Structure 1
């Protein structure tokens, strides 16, 4: 909130002048309007009068169960935010508590079991919050309903290496914050949650912190794999500080391999590898597109990568600026918006905003020591629907001051190895950073980079056209 009825969400500003369901705004903006996330933002105590008035206005102008605000997902987020606001010392008041109870009762009858994933988990979390916050038989039923599946969903949605199963660093951070909230709830209402569940959630949060630490650039923010935008979820530093306040320690995850002048951390179940040289880090995607039954946040980004040298991003994926079903959404999910090999079709058949048909399958993932560093190789069959059924093979070799990326397409088809440059370095690389293209035909093409929702920045990509089915680019730094 930047005023009593003025807001900025997903890079877009607006007011309540046209009500709570403004058709001139994106569906995502309208959803954010009903979340009440500002109740927990930095400096929220200074905006308490705005928040109190806004809660009262929401109750007056959103009768049950009309409008977007009563959809299960925004209802779940709003319930938790109202409860935590009250727990932190603000006063909801009787009218708001009655509304909150009505929202909980409605949510209990409308769990998003058809969507699953983070939507269902948010529903369950909200019922656990409401069942702990209120008392009595009805509250006990809400609590029992939430707890019935909560532990099972934690085990389903968090992989053994600590990664969230949707394989998006942004949704990983959101889910981690949810777990920390549940531990905080237990501190305020001890005994409402089973001790074994709290201990399991705490351990899982520690693993998720470890995963996020591996998957964070030196600038403090994550790489853009699948749906991911900076500024939506809390970053590593904020989440780590929250965990420390709750007594939760970050755990070590993944397999660490030391090479001459290089280090790798392999998050095998998630399918990501962090390669480090002297002063540089690369993030490599050898992952599935996401859960087989829930690919809605997946991109056609198999075998893509991002590269930072020092604290500066050099090579990036295109990011996510919007949801919906329009051409920008389709492009941002497509292969050409990622730093990987691009052919005439997407490596995974993304469509409809949140749908995926024929999907690339990564295979032959190998991480080995070389005489002067570490080598990561993998392949995918996402182009098998093309004539001759070609397979893309990629090898990243990290040395002390060099990252070499070798691409092979067999059988040979027309394709380019795309390397999207971070906008700040697209016109001129920082001093001490250079690249060479010993194999393939180099060109520059315009590209876009969406670091945040609602913002698309013009940049360029180094496109290396494969020659006889092969391309090589070598990044060097000092």
Structure 2
């Protein structure tokens, strides 16, 4: 391990190396391993845990995995003799921040939003992680989401997580997707509009599609990607989001993904107790937008009239569109596990208004 530290990959790989070294240092009571543990965990925890508590790769799945590693390391330290007091204190602080972020981003039924490189079956359930943390003395508190670029709105029976985050980290964006201004929506603790997740890490067309703009609940303009994702884990030109206006139940944001075409996209979320309204504005000549909404596999949309769908207990409607149709897509349950679900595809120019109401 000491000769194969993953400095060439950095990110979660190097942090995982640090946790492995921590176990070796405690087991062997070895000073060389102590020094390496201090060096890696000190720098990487400072770098990788953002101010609001999110892991900086902005994948809720990896956040769970690394929080479990941190809890295991802390559990080891408080139950054994060691000379790593500085690491113990730093872990204690980082864990509390990560617990708070998880508690805040998590939906009321215990799900996490499957944003960026996230999928099922790779991490313990969030409630299990939070229970483990509580046993070690970490009680969750709600925090203001900021540095991670996620926002959460709760009103009535609706819960919405919006993604206005940067591609991150800038020097290692392997887990980033082209999903600026995407969102996930739950109602009464059940998923309605979802991120499709991922099913592979192979460098193939499936991987490219699952990272692409059209696989997220956002807007693609003139069939161009917001952010250039390629090579399985690479990112080229990237959209940079920015907030225009924000309050407790409203968010308006834009991004630079189409600046090179002289086109802008502004999205506004308005969250009320009995409905959610999303307003998309496209500014620029010859700009044609495609909006996508990916529905959970349990929901089969029934079109009642043009631009209006019944989604089990909800009504989904659109105003100012060129056409709307439902299509099938592959919802990812885990690696190499997919089921068929429905998405709504909307073509529009100018302004599109989307309403989901009870």
Fold match by TM threshold 0.5: yes
Alignment counterpart, residue 230 of structure 1, candidates 120, 130, 142: 120
Alignment counterpart, residue 245 of structure 2, candidates 366, 370, 380: 366
Runs of 5+ unmatched residues, structure 1: 1-106, 255-266
Alignment counterpart, residue 104 of structure 2, candidates 208, 214, 226: 214
Aligned residues between the structures? 348
Highest CA radius of gyration, 1 or 2?
1
Aligned ranges 1:411-426 → 2 under 5 Å:
411-412=284-285, 413-426=287-300
Quote how far apart the aligned CAs of 1:430 are: 5.1
* Structure 1: distance between partners of 2:95 and 2:118: 20
Q: Give CA-to-partner distance per residue, 1:343-396, whole Å, 9 cap, x none.
A: 312111000000000001001342136xxxx211100111234x3x21111000
* Structure 1: distance between partners of 2:70 and 2:292: 37
Q: Does residue 270 in structure 1 map to residue 148 in structure 2?
A: yes
* Structure 2: distance between partners of 1:431 and 1:249: 36
Alignment counterpart, residue 144 of structure 1, candidates 29, 35, 54: 35
> Root-mean-square deviation (CA), in Å?
1.5
Alignment counterpart, residue 170 of structure 2, candidates 289, 292, 297: 292
* Structure 1: distance between partners of 2:19 and 2:168: 23
Q: Give CA-to-partner distance per residue, 1:75-96, whole Å, 9 cap, x none.
A: xxxxxxxxxxxxxxxxxxxxxx
Is the contact made by 2:316 and 2:357 (CA closer than 8 Å) also made in structure 1?
Answer: yes
* Structure 1: distance between partners of 2:148 and 2:290: 27
Is the contact made by 1:127 and 1:146 (CA closer than 8 Å) also made in structure 2?
Answer: yes
Is the contact made by 2:299 and 2:312 (CA closer than 8 Å) also made in structure 1?
Answer: no
Is the contact made by 1:210 and 1:251 (CA closer than 8 Å) also made in structure 2?
Answer: yes
Is the contact made by 1:439 and 1:473 (CA closer than 8 Å) also made in structure 2?
Answer: no
Runs of 4+ in 1 over 6 A off after TM superposition: none
Is the contact made by 1:207 and 1:252 (CA closer than 8 Å) also made in structure 2?
Answer: no
Q: Does residue 394 in structure 1 map to residue 230 in structure 2?
A: no
Q: What is the match of residue 377 of structure 1?
A: 252
Quote how far apart the aligned CAs of 1:431 are: 4.2
Instruction: Give the TM-score of the pair, scaled to structure 2.
Output: 0.93
Q: What is the match of residue 5 of structure 1?
A: none
Runs of 5+ unmatched residues, structure 2: 303-309
Q: Does residue 443 in structure 1 map to residue 337 in structure 2?
A: no
Alignment counterpart, residue 228 of structure 2, candidates 333, 346, 349: 349
Instruction: Give the TM-score of the pair, scaled to structure 1.
Output: 0.70
Is the contact made by 1:406 and 1:471 (CA closer than 8 Å) also made in structure 2?
Answer: yes
Q: Which has the higher strand share?
A: 2
Alignment counterpart, residue 203 of structure 2, candidates 319, 325, 328: 325
Q: Which has the higher helix share?
A: 1
Q: What is the match of residue 205 of structure 1?
A: 95
Q: Give CA-to-partner distance per residue, 1:152-172, whole Å, 9 cap, x none.
A: 210100001001000110011
